[in-house]
A = this chain, B = another copy of it.
Amino acid sequence: MKIGDVAKTTGCSIQTIRFYEKKGLLPELKRSSGNYRVYDKGTIEQLLFIKQCRSLDMSIMEVKTLMDSRSRPDQSCSNINTLIAKHLSDVIIRIEELNVLKSSLENMASSCDQDKTIRDCGILNYLHT
B-binding residues in A (CB < 8 A): 49, 52-53, 56-57, 66, 69-70, 72-78, 80-81, 84-85, 87-88, 91-92, 94-95, 98-99, 101-102, 104-106, 108-109, 112-121, 123-124, 127-128
Tell which of B49, B98, B115 touches A95, judged by Cβ atoms closer than 8 Å: B98
Nearest CB on B from A106, distance (A): 7
Complex interface: chain B residues within 8 A of A128 (CB): 49
The answer to whether A114 touches B74, judged by C-beta atoms less than 8 angstroms apart, is no
Complex interface: chain B residues within 8 A of A85 (CB): 109
The answer to whether B109 touches A69, judged by C-beta atoms less than 8 angstroms apart, is no
Number of copies of this chain that the complex holds: 2
Known: A76-B115, A81-B123, A95-B95. 9 other contacts (CB 8 A): A52-B127, A77-B116, A77-B121, A77-B123, A77-B124, A81-B109, A84-B109, A88-B105, A91-B105
The answer to whether B52 touches A112, judged by C-beta atoms less than 8 angstroms apart, is no
The answer for the CA separation of A88 and B27 in the assembled complex, in Å, is 42
Pairs across A and B, CB under 8 Å, 7 listed: A56-B105, A66-B127, A69-B118, A74-B119, A81-B113, A88-B106, A88-B109
Task: Write the chain B residue with the least CB distance to A76.
Answer: B117
